[in-house]
Amino acid sequence: MAVRKSRNGTWIADVSSGTNPITLIQRRIVRKGFKTKKEALEAERYLRSVELKEKSFSTKITIDILYQLLKEEDEINNRKKSYIDTQENNYNKHIKDYFSKVDNIAKLTYEDIYQFREHLREKNAKNSEKKLNPNTINKIMVLLKKILDVGLRKGYYKEHPVGLLKKLPIEKRKMQFWTVKEFKHFLSLFKNDEYNLELLFTVLFFTGLRLGEALALTWKDIEFSTSTIHVSKSMYVNKGEEHISSTKTKSGTRRIIINKKLIEALEEWKKKQTERLRQFSTDTEKLQIFQDSPITLTKNSIEKQYKKILARDSSLKKIRIHDFRHSHASLLINQGEDYLIVKERLGHASITTTIDTYSHLYPSKQKDLADKLDNLL
């Protein structure tokens, strides 16, 4: 019914504007309080000729069609396989099912997108009782925007509302890292048959490598004559399986020169590993550097081992494996190294990332400057 009389005697203009693309419940545009039927009819004509016309779209396009187009674009543009796989996981896990009933993405409103984000805020993280954190939600919203931007580029619609939502605020986590003293304490917790793991964590602490980068290393990546590690690839997980891909960024492909004691430890371990695994491999040069059995080391297996080792002493401050990178950066800064050295060793894409992450660890130069100015008088 387009026009009807209300119980209090005034008139109502009530026009259908289709269905909610998420719930499939009918949407309506309602205007109330008209004194006469004529006014309500004029309002109805306005709603149909102006507001509904602005909201009408001829092309029907689904979220899955747009995602497949995005994936094709990424493959044509030679985006890393790990990047595409991660994107697909997030799409399948968080976006696909929610928008599966939407037969025309062009119908989505700001309210629909807002409600999707609220849905994410109530969603638990995988294998956890904790909710998705704001940073994860922001990344999912960025992916949704990328998907809908494809429709804009293809001319399927003129606008979409995702960009209107501001990012959720992210509480900056206090940086955790170990001092050399704490790291030595950690090394004392290893058992004799865990030397390969002890060596792995020593390399992480003294190089700043990501865990995936360290697990992707083979002996071909070590140049013993120059004490150099060549970093060009990384291990990542997709659908529970380990894969090797290029480094996270172009800057991630780098050379790291290591100290004499560490290169000697690696050289000694290589001899032991060769003896131990020669019967299982025809080319030990292709073995993972930290492998001590025919079974490939995975990120998940290392995480489990790490937790077991940490549990041996409750007095030791608990940090994540990724925090070994922060520990290395702190070590460099305490040795007086500048931002560029930290950037190069960590493989940051931009010096801005290095400064934003570690500027608070650098001692202030203000006091030194004040003292120098005093000496001028």
Question: What's the whole-model pTM score?
Answer: 0.69
pLDDT value of residue 143: 96
Alpha carbon distance 156, 264 (integer Å): 61
Q: Which residue has the higher pLDDT, 303 or 1?
A: 303
What mean pLDDT do residues 33-38 have? 84
Res 93: pLDDT: 93
Token couple for 285:
């040069």
Question: What's the pLDDT score for residue 9?
Answer: 87
* Residue reference for tokens 């990546």: 221
- Hey, what are 350's tokens? 């931009």
Which residues is 218 bridged to in the sheet? 288
**What average pLDDT score do residues 216-227 get?**
96
Residue type at position 140: I
For residue 75, how many other CB atoms are within 10 A of its CB? 11
* Residues annotated as catalytic (active site), given as ranges: 210, 248, 322, 325, 348, 358
Strand partners, 16: 28
Q: What is the CA radius of gyration of the chain?
A: 29
The 10s digit of each residue's pLDDT in 330-367 is 999 989 898 899 999 999 989 898 988 888 887 765 66
Pick from 17-21, 27-31, 103-107, 109-113 the range whose average pLDDT is largest.
109-113
Measured distance CA(118)–CA(132) in Å, rounded = 11
Going by C-alpha positions, the residue among 181, 123, 155 that lies closest to residue 315 is: 181
pLDDT band, very low/low/confident/very high, at 51 (cuts 50, 70, 90):
low
User: Is it the case that residue 114 has pLDDT exceeding 50?
Assistant: yes
pLDDT of residue 53: 53
Tell me the average pLDDT of the chain: 88
Range in 80-84, 240-244, 309-313, 361-365 the model is least confident about: 361-365
How would residue 274 be classed by pLDDT, with cut points 50, 70 and 90?
very high
Q: What is the mean pLDDT of residues 119-147?
A: 91
The string of pLDDT tens digits covering residues 291-313 is 999 999 999 999 999 999 999 99
Query: What is the reported pLDDT for 313?
Result: 96
- Distance CA(211)–CA(312), nearest Å, equals 22
| Contact yes or no for 262/206 (Cβ under 8 A) | yes
pLDDT interval class at 16 (50, 70, 90): confident
> Mean pLDDT throughout 261-285?
92
Q: Which residues of 21-48 are buried (b: 16+ CB within 10 A; e: fewer)?
A: bbeeeeeebebeebeeeebbeebbeebb
Mean pLDDT of 254-261: 96
How far apart are the two ends of the chain, measured CA to CA in Å?
89
**According to the model, what pLDDT value does residue 353 have?**
87
Q: Higher pLDDT residue, 17 or 340?
A: 340
Q: What is the mean pLDDT of residues 132-155?
A: 93
| pLDDT computed for residue 170 by the predictor | 85
The Cβ-side half-sphere exposure at 135, using a 13 Å CA radius, reads: 4
Residue whose structure tokens are 């992450």: 357
What's the whole-number mean pLDDT along residues 146-151? 93
Strands 26-34 and 222-223: unpaired
Residue 130 three-state SS: coil
pLDDT, average across residues 320-335: 94
d(Cα 303, Cα 20) in Å, to the nearest integer? 44
Backbone region of residue 28 per phi and psi (left: phi > 0; alpha: psi in -120 to 50; beta: other values): beta
3-state secondary structure of 188: coil
Q: How much of the chain, in percent, has pLDDT values that exceed 70?
A: 92
The CA-atom distances, in angstroms, between 342 and each of 137, 179, 215 are: 30, 17, 21
| DSSP-assigned letter for residue 276 | H
Task: Output 107 or 183, whichever has higher pLDDT.
Answer: 183
Alpha helices in the chain (DSSP H): 37-46, 52-55, 63-76, 81-90, 110-121, 134-154, 180-187, 195-207, 211-215, 260-277, 299-310, 323-334, 339-346, 351-358, 366-375
Mean pLDDT, residues 174-180 taken together? 92
Helix axes of 134-154 and 110-121: crossing angle, nearest 10 degrees: 150
More confident residue, 366 or 31: 31
Mean pLDDT (whole number) for 241-261: 86
Predicted pLDDT of residue 364: 66
What is the distance between the alpha carbons of residues 5 and 313, in angstroms, rounded to a whole number? Answer: 76
